[in-house]
Structure 1
């Protein structure tokens, strides 16, 4: 293992992840707790949440930080659907919502089998338009508020409104993302240091859940949270000490050190090589060699 000021290298393949020892650049700060970065390539800016502030912001190189939506329902994870609407996991409202081009906000799902969701956390859109999201209890203020006796991973079909429980075995499922061919769904559990992989069947259900990787908590503060994949199949996850990068077999390649505890990440920019990181009170970016895969918009 080789450690420099800004990176930790476990494997020589790390040289194909970032050039040298690039430092994460802080592009905005002064927030309460930021999450959910997602790049809108049509509009050329990044969306991100400030959960306690009850706001969604945008950031662009030209205009800096701009308020997009307030209140946001204490939104956490964000993504874009195939039509370009912004999808938000709202802790406060315990729902998944969509904000359309005209600014109107509509509920996509807030209940399963008649019971309120816990607090939807993170979300990803499959190429067929279906939405996959996690539902841990982090947004609940008291255990008595929890109506469902588990923390699920769900699939939502927007056109019909049908919602399906895919998995209820994880303790606190959090970040999730697809492999580039959408045959694997990665989900991490923030109550542990574990990342799981599931096979995605042709009908969209998930099977064969198995441990993909376990992060080492001795590297610093943080737990597995945000998850993304680059075009070569490498998995990027916020975790102890910064951004962990794992190869497609789950072998750790290295860690990108971040000055604050990182919660989530997402690619953007013209070539989709700029990795944006939401970390506690600030938004950071770093340039990667491989672009990230695109889902949704």
Structure 2
């Protein structure tokens, strides 16, 4: 694993004092990190020169975030039960809020394919204290051409993190309750097929559960889980585990000032946000 993470690599605590951090997303255009404190219903930004700044409050209890190709922020607003997009003028557009006429449950994590399609997980959360209207906990796809929402996968108990392989031919989805990752082949129409078990996390490693997930440029899969950040090869082989100072929830690759392009791993972990310098860049 030391070809990915140097043996003497050290965490940099970028900010602390939050309720529970989540959803890191690096914006290359503005050269800043976005992240959520979902228990406090806030979205923040961070960069090296300005530090932490409040971006939006209330956030709709946003959890997962990502950026699209135009540099617009997409957010899983769990309280508002929708996927939103912040336009370049600062206005907010609701992209997806219903399927088959019923409200989504509690959108959790989101990614964008190169064709503009938005994939997101929608596990029902009893913590929200609201009525469940969907008959399953699904993974969905928002079609940028039609604006329609389709089901991608409906077989998970609690779908959470998701990530594309570098060539976007594979879609990885993890299940927080089952503590495992499945991988699917992505079809030309945006659907998936041939799902199989990819990895099962070792729950004895420490606190935490299958959550945020990303791939590096070599196709290795990084997932926050029990005892830190697990790294898996394309074959599903366990390459190693990065132990964290706090329970890690999510992660992303980015490029803060004075760092090689795409080789910094940002991690949201309980009350803090950390960065770690790697020897490999993230998938683009």
Q: Same fold (TM over 0.5)?
A: yes
> What secondary structure sits across from 1:145 in the alignment?
coil
Distance 1:75 1:81, change over 3 A: same
Deviation, 1:193, is 1.3
Structure 1 gaps of 5+ residues are 1-13
| Distance in 2 between residues matched to 1:194 and 1:226, nearest whole Å | 12
Q: Is the 8 A contact 2:79 2:128 kept in 1?
A: no
Q: What is the CA distance between 1:101 and its match in structure 2? A: 1.8
Task: Say which SS state the counterpart of residue 262 (structure 1) adopts.
Answer: coil
Query: In the alignment, which residue of structure 1 is the partner of 2:283?
Result: 293
How far residue 159 of structure 1 moved from its aligned partner, in angstroms, is 3.4
Name which of 9, 14, 20 aligns with 1:33: 20
Contact 1:230 1:293 in 2 (8 A): yes
Aligned length: 280
Contact 2:179-2:210 at 8 Å conserved across structures: yes
Contact 1:91–1:139, Cα closer than 8 Å, also in 2? no
Instruction: Give 1:274's aligned residue.
Output: 264
1:161 to 2:147 alignment: yes
Q: Distance in 1 between matches of 2:124 and 2:141?
A: 18
- When normalised by structure 2's length, the TM-score is 0.96
List 4+ stretches of structure 1 deviating above 4 A: none
The superposition leaves residues 99-140 of structure 1 with CA deviations (integer Å, 9 ceiling, x where unpaired) of 112211111110000101001100110011100000001375
CA–CA separation in structure 1 for the residues paired with 2:9 and 2:125? 33
Which of 177, 187, 194 matches 1:191?
177
**TM score, norm. by length of structure 1:** 0.92
Following superposition, the deviation at residue 58 of structure 1 comes to 0.2
Residue 2 of structure 2: SS of its match in structure 1? helix
Cα distance between partner residues in 2 of 1:80 and 1:139? 28
Mapping for residues 72-221 of structure 1, pairs under 5 Å: 72-138=59-125, 140-142=127-129, 145-221=131-207
- The CA distance in 1 between the partners of 2:35 and 2:126, in whole Å, is 17
1:76-105, CA deviations, whole angstroms, 9 ceiling, x for partnerless residues?
Answer: 110111221100001110000001122111
SS in 2 for 1:277: strand
Separation (CA, whole Å) in 2 of partners of 1:179 and 1:21: 28
Q: Is the 8 A contact 1:34 1:279 kept in 2?
A: yes
Contact 2:165–2:171 (8 Å) recurs in 1? yes
After superposition, what is the alpha-carbon deviation per residue over 1:187-219, rounded to whole angstroms, capped at 9, x for unaligned?
A: 000002100000001111011111100010111
- What do the CA deviations read for 1:228-266 (whole angstroms, capped 9, x no partner)? 000111100001111111010111111111111100000
Q: Distance in 2 between matches of 1:16 and 1:124?
A: 27
Unmatched segments (≥5 aa) in structure 2: none
1:59 aligns with 2:49: no
**SS across alignment from 1:168:** strand
After TM superposition, give the deviation of residue 227 of structure 1 in Å. 0.5
